[in-house]
Structure 1
Amino acid sequence: MSLISLVSVQGFILLSVQAHLPQLRPPPCNMISKEEQCVEAKGFKATIFFLALYLVALGSGCLKPNMISHGADQFRKEDPCHSKKLSTYFNTAYFSFCVGELLALTLLVWVQTRSGMDVGFGVSAGAMAVGLAILISGAFFYRNKPPQGSIFTPIARVKIIISVIPIFACTIIFNTILAQLQTFSVQQGSAMNTRLTTSFHVPPASLQAIPYVILIVLVPVYETCFVPLARKLTGTSSGITPLQRIGVGLFAVTFSMVAAAVIERKRRETYVDSGELLSIFWIGPQFLIFGVSEMFTAVGLIEFFYKQSLAGMQSFLTAMTYCSYSFGFYLSSLLVSLVNKITSSSSRHGWLSDNDLNKDRLDLFYWLLAALSLLNFLSYLFCSRWYCSSQSPSADPPPGPHGADVNHHLNFTSSKHVAADRDIL
């Protein structure tokens, strides 16, 4: 992790240097103005830019899943007390991520706006360097697991991967909805009245901070209030099982799109009928509901992948959580293209083809996503039940020492949790 953190630091430093030196970037221009022609970055300038982006992406993609699994490895699964604390760790880790995201969307944006992009990227590089120093400072205190397993372990690993693919696939629609909140919902806010006071306007892009504010508030409440109460009712150390937690989030996120569709229809009708702009605060509920659903689904998915994996696979399966984000955004682009193609005709434009929300039908697109989300939740109920039944420990292990080793690896984690996971329905 230390080496890969250096990769991210180098990427941010390269971005900062390019943003600072005029000879490494195109001349500044107003991209909003139709009269001004912006110069495209080509050749060496473009190479430097994309190299920096790929370094940051490589570092982030390798660092996050390994950091989560490394922290979880510090707990001993065989200790009931540590097993209970493991769920708390996942909540705390995600809480830390949310604090970082909130700082990036508020404080860092303010720094970049006030002092320039070069300073903003420099601050990011400095923050990564401080985090790396903190990580290295605890190197002598970490519990490092020695290599373990047998020649049959790869077979068990393939079985684990195949078994979690349906659960993984059911979270893609969830991240497709996240893509809408970061794109169309921001555009939706731009078409509303952003005035907060006579001299201050709410930046539409800052709406993306709402889910993280909700998470920062609700994660401690979930851990200190909900988990102890649920633990008494269910007897599960984490209150509810990871599969149940994912299911709650997948169901709740449907209402985020329902709220978005209702508000967008209201916004459009208000503007068309009277020319007035609806207040930007009306779209707050869709971000709020998504924040609540993310607290359940995102943390539950990370915990599920870690607990159901074999020794040595925790980082790999945890990384699948972030692959779900990528697939969700790709699916979003595909859906927009398909919707435009299907709804377009010679006599009318597609739902999202005009780039003008007062002419487009973004509300119908939101209703489509709500329907897809509900269908996705129903499919998740089926997949989670199938997973629980398929992971039931075999009554008779295969004969021979190697067969027993395979059975031990296959059921080391999943057999301890599958009984509780049956309660998802």
Structure 2
Amino acid sequence: MVPASAPALAPAPAPTPAKHGGLRATLFINGVQALETTAIAAVGNNLITYLVNDMHYSLSKSANIVTNFVATTFLLSILGGFLSDSYLGSFLTILIFGLIELIGYIVIAVEAHVPSLKPEACDVRGSVVCEEAKGVEAVLLYVGLYTIAVGSGCLKPNIIAYGGDQLSCEGEANGRRAKYFNMAYLSFCVGEVIALTLLIWIQTRFGMDVGFGVSAGLMLFALLILTSATPFYLNRPPQGSIFTHILQILVAVHKKKLEHASNQKMLSELSENTSRRGPERQSLSYPDQFRYLEQGAMVEEESREVEQLKLVIRVMPIFGCTIVTNCILAQLQTFSVEQASSMESRVAGFQVPAASVQAIPYVIMVGVVPLYVTVFVPLLRRMTGKESGISQLQRIGIGLFVSTLSMVTAAVVESKRKAVAPQKLSILWIAPQFIIFGFSEMFTAVGLLEFFYSQSVAGMQSFLTALTYCSYSFGFFLSSALVSIVNLVTKTRNQQGWLSHNNLNEDHLDLFYWLLSTVSFLNFFNYIFWSRWFKYHPSQSQG
């Protein structure tokens, strides 16, 4: 642990904007993000098909394996953000964990290719009970998947934060940064489109082993691009462990050594003292929330650490409200793919792989995001006076409401699909729920990333950006828990739970979707309360 006075917290030499950082550097970073997204999306979004058909796991068990894998990936973003801010810096963190992710792809590609490392071929939808993966087969599967999870999870928040860092020395940084976050999301969408079309087609046509191998190749290419642009990057030094600082403040507050610690005049004097240490160590003026924590600044003679603690507490309710939306995303990557598998997949003479329906919203977003940035943002800017058109919290709120509509649509379509079974609906029927959620994601994800980054103080950019991905994690874990709870509660002596069958025609997925719709709608009103309670930092942007 690094004490508050450690040399590691000293300010770095002033960067040279003409040589380091800027939009040129963000182009390379966005390229890395697009390639890494393509690699892992091709694995995660079609993983349930591989687990059912090749590893012979049941549908519900496969869905939980997928959600747990994705949830763990996003949860580990907290570790990546912490290591970057505290010890390694963004560049080294991206490089190290990018290599770890590459190793994971190689492991699952080898297992998928070697017949002796997986169960014998078997028709899981036939009358014969297929033997599921176990022993060495299962161990290799989990080792490969969770190596990918460690690498990708620790890498993701640092790519986003590293891009934001490149613009910190430019004029009109807030406006450029808002545009960058939209372009970063566009890079993500491009990666998803390539993964869910070309790479899924490769997996379907040439086998999962070839598909996993292509993911490995893309990850290697991403690392080559990252290192090739090293001279252009603006690198900020790590600031020391934020958890050490926060613990020091909590201890100081608990001791209550000074009776007048909340005196704003004394805090101003303290701010003048800390300002002599350079811009990276300056304290920010306090919002009028959690004032009792300021006595910790007087005891430890540090106001920046108090601000870090207050910031974490203030953003937690906003973070919590986005978890339900990401629980909905989990359904679109698991059960909705199985929905597509039970529909007529031939469209205009072309066979559409079930997993590729997930590309629909991203294809649309590739066109919508540039339109939003170039047309709607300037229009809204003239109306509201805000640099990004609407505030970050308003953008998040719009996304949360739209996600509810996605689940309502999914429930209606599933009811229709079951009503006409055994006849098959066209796979195009499932498109609306993905399209609607795509708009939800554009508002929620980008708004949340920009919100966390813009409200962060020095030494917390990667950590707070990681909270966006942590929300995905909790959403997928919540999905797994809900599936298990719903199956348990709805199970009777004569009937299995809503989602316990391997046949969607016998399950009650429509009722599960209606349940999620209700939860999401209630969560929207919960968000309204907390967004009105939240106070933007006086010295930070509201978007």
Fold shared by both chains (TM-score > 0.5):
yes
Matched, 1:313 2:313: no
CA distance in 1, matches of 2:402, 2:133: 43
1:84 CA displacement: 0.7
5 Å-filtered alignment, 1:2-401, equals: 2-35=95-128, 37-38=130-131, 40-43=133-136, 45-76=137-168, 79-80=171-172, 82-146=173-237, 147=239, 148-149=280-281, 151-197=302-348, 200-271=350-421, 276-346=423-493, 348-388=495-535, 391=536, 393=538
CA shift digits 1:76-130 (9 cap, x unpaired): 26732x2211111111111111111221122112222333333222221211111
Letter in 2 for 1:96: S
State which drifts further: 143-152 or 220-229. 143-152
Letter in 2 for 1:260: A
CA distance 1:96–1:78, change in 2 (3 Å): closer
CA shift digits 1:38-86 (9 cap, x unpaired): 363413x544433222221111111110011001001126732x22111
1:24 CA displacement: 4.3
1:204 CA displacement: 2.3
CA distance in 1, matches of 2:171, 2:508: 55
Checking the alignment, whether the CA contact within 8 Å between 1:260 and 1:283 is kept in structure 2 is yes
Give 5+ residue unaligned stretches, structure 2.
1-93, 240-279, 283-301
Q: Which fold has the larger relative contact order, with Cα–Cα distance below 8 Å and residues 6 or more apart in sequence?
A: 2
State which drifts further: 335-344 or 27-36. 27-36
Checking the alignment, whether the CA contact within 8 Å between 1:31 and 1:38 is kept in structure 2 is no
Checking the alignment, whether the CA contact within 8 Å between 1:12 and 1:125 is kept in structure 2 is yes
Letter in 2 for 1:182: Q
Checking the alignment, whether the CA contact within 8 Å between 1:194 and 1:204 is kept in structure 2 is yes
State which drifts further: 34-43 or 112-121. 34-43
1:233 CA displacement: 0.6
Letter in 2 for 1:11: G
Letter in 1 for 2:328: I
CA distance in 1, matches of 2:193, 2:374: 22
* RMSD (Å) for aligned C-alpha atoms: 2.2
CA distance in 1, matches of 2:503, 2:118: 31
CA shift digits 1:208-253 (9 cap, x unpaired): 1112112212111111111111111111111111111100110111
CA distance in 1, matches of 2:372, 2:325: 21
Checking the alignment, whether the CA contact within 8 Å between 1:11 and 1:54 is kept in structure 2 is yes
CA distance 1:335–1:377, change in 2 (3 Å): same
CA distance in 2, matches of 1:36, 1:376: 42
Give 5+ residue unaligned stretches, structure 1.
394-411, 421-425
TM-score, normalised by the number of residues in structure 2: 0.67
Checking the alignment, whether the CA contact within 8 Å between 1:27 and 1:39 is kept in structure 2 is no
1:23 CA displacement: 4.8
CA distance in 1, matches of 2:95, 2:406: 38
Letter in 2 for 1:302: L
Letter in 2 for 1:52: G
Checking the alignment, whether the CA contact within 8 Å between 1:246 and 1:300 is kept in structure 2 is yes
3-state SS of 1:106 partner: helix
Identical aligned residues as a percent:
55
CA distance in 1, matches of 2:105, 2:306: 40
1:313 CA displacement: 0.7
CA distance in 2, matches of 1:351, 1:52: 31
1:19 CA displacement: 3.0
Checking the alignment, whether the CA contact within 8 Å between 2:200 and 2:353 is kept in structure 1 is no
CA distance in 1, matches of 2:225, 2:331: 36
CA distance 1:354–1:53, change in 2 (3 Å): closer
